[in-house]
Amino acid sequence: MLELFTKYREVFTLPIGFVIVAISANQLARLFQQIHLPLISGLIVVGILTGPYLLNLIPIAAPFQLKYINDISLGFIAFAAGAELYLKELKKQINSIKWNSFGQLFITFIFGVAALWLAADYIPFLANKETKVVFAISSLMATIFIASSPASAIAIINELRSKGPFTQTVMGVTVVKDFLVVIMFSICLSFTQSALKESAFDFVQIIIVLAEFVTSFILGFFVVGYALKTALSLSIHKRTKSFFILLIGYSTYWTSDWLAVFSLEKWGHALFLEPLLICILASFYVTNFSKFRAEFLNQIRSLELYIFVAFFTLTGASLNISVFVEVLSVALLLFSLRLVALIFGSVGGGLIAGDPIKHISIGWMSYITQAGVTLGLATVVSNQFPEWGTIFSTAVLALILINQFIGPPLFKWAIYQVNEARTRGHQNNEITKEVLIFGFEPQSVSLAQQLMKKNYRVQLATLKDKDSFDDPTDISILYSKSLGKDDLSKIDFSNVEIVVTLLSDDANLLICEYAYHEFGTRELVVRLNHRYNSKKFLDLEAKVIDPSTAMVSLLDHFVRSPQATSLLLGMDQNQDTRDIEILNPNLHGIHLRDLRLPSDVIILSVIRGGQTIISHGYTRLRIHDTVTVVGLNQSLDDLEFKFIK
């Protein structure tokens, strides 16, 4: 057994070691979010620190030996990108996507070539070369300027839960230009070869590339798309279905690599499928032409964090920081030239499309980040032109490193500027005991009266006319004409601790999204009308009550544990349960067993960072922990005063 372990030790130690580093990277990267940087920036930094060029926790062989992790991640990220291209939502943005893609592909390219030609004397692989050669090599670099990273875009969009016309345009343009840029690169590559060798332009190479794209299109839309739909249709466990989705993505990349090697050995020419395009089209097919869109999106949401952590940590470990130092001056010059070209391309495309001025002015920030496709194109140049290709690809690698640091924060800032981020607003940590209930009906009135008996300050909001019912004398009533943002802004949410919604699901969602995004309201409680809408509210961290199952669950608990249920429902007038937040700094770090609790009070659990801790005597309290306690009302009042003050 020991011999077997020794023999296969390297096979297991590298993946296990990487998993440990990735878990640590996930925790450390969250520190970057506290200073308003994207999660992926933190993951890349941790990857660089733990990589072979600094701490060497991830050895230099890892990017090659763990290539399957990269392929699995890229397949999934392509699926996630395709899932964003939902035609019914993109109809209004088609014109914007079309012209912004034009701007990125042609205006950026033209300005990129011009800028590189003007700065040729300061760039090693362009200096002291004939004019036509400078133009040829500049066209290759200008094409690389166009390429961006769908992986980074998807990661930022999902982190911010971003949604809106700006986000849709960015995602559409990123996906469209990422495979069109390969065609443009092939044309420029043939032009460069003919310029250097003074030979005729190679049209055959262009035809081969177009044939590869057509084949990729057919495979993606009809073969892989059908396989993905079949996997989603299976009546199997969710995790097993997730495995099949990842397997399909990985198989696409593996098949592409195998075909390139096989065709090179068999015919002397490597045939390259476009696995990114194949996976995007497969996802596009499932999203738009099958009934599994909702389930597919749920699968993506459940897997995305694991994939992003693995991919961007490994990406960081793959970046050679020593090379970056060597070509820093050239990389900074290329970054500046690319930035200018991107601004011209983005502004030009936006003006032609008639986009809002704000979108035009900051749209370029969304396309800075670069990754896999860019590196792949640079590698092709390095292999085709060994005389100057090495310094070319080295400079591109350093350029990618700069773009990976600067691009994500700028894209994140741009999304916030257009108000399309759907993250939780700044949360008021004060215990206000203010409750806002939406919906006037017997249940809402009874709830308000019961909460007021528990010393809560309650307001009840309604869409009904003021004279259509008798106002309860003891409840504050707020009248609103609609649930539009302008009308909701007239209601003071700033000190509201809990929002309860008892309207239709659509109305409830509008209220919850407003409270969550604008004010970070501590608790959202929703009465559900249709079970299929529950996911929308759970994404907002709301407490969802489904009336169709609530009564059955209540009866079930009465049968199995009548005493506990009676206690929780407050049927014993002398006893109650409460959630109390720890705000007293003197209690920070104290063990539960060292608390001087009234003899009739029991601590049931402690909630920390959204996670429930089954408490015991050695559990230490932390500021902002929420402690669930049960006991006599008077004792709970005393305890609440002690915990808060």
- Across the chain, which has 645 residues, the per-10-residue mean pLDDT values are 60 83 88 79 86 84 81 86 79 85 87 87 82 85 85 81 84 81 78 68 70 85 90 87 92 88 80 81 89 85 86 82 76 89 89 88 87 72 77 81 84 87 63 81 82 83 76 78 77 82 87 81 85 79 80 71 63 72 83 77 78 76 83 79 75
Whether this prediction's pTM lies above 0.75 is answered by: no
Q: Which two tokens stand for residue 368?
A: 């800075």
CB of 584 closer than 8 Å to CB of 644: yes
State the pLDDT at residue 430: 61
State the pLDDT at residue 10: 64
State the pLDDT at residue 5: 57
Return the ∠ at Cα 335 (arms to 333 and 337), rounded to 5°.
70
For strands 602-608 and 611-613, give the pairing. antiparallel
Side-chain half-sphere CA neighbours of 83 within 13 A: 22
Q: What kind and span of H or E run contains 254?
A: helix 238-267
Q: Which ranges of 354-432 would DSSP assign to H, the alpha helix?
A: 357-362, 372-384, 386-417
Neighbours of 216 (CB within 10 A): 24
What's the CA gap between 558 and 554, in Å, rounded?
6
Instruction: Return the closest-CA partner of residue 293 out of 226, 229, 217.
Output: 229
Return the ∠ at Cα 404 (arms to 401 and 407), rounded to 5°.
135
383 CA to centre of own chain = 35
Go through the domains of the chain in sequence order and give each one's CATH number: 68-417 (1.20.1530.20), 434-551 (3.40.50.720), 574-644 (3.30.70.1450)
CB of 234 closer than 8 Å to CB of 244: yes
State the pLDDT at residue 592: 80
**620 backbone dihedrals φ, ψ, rounded to 5°:** -90, 135
CA R_g for the chain:
29
Neighbours of 589 (CB within 10 A): 10
State the pLDDT at residue 248: 93
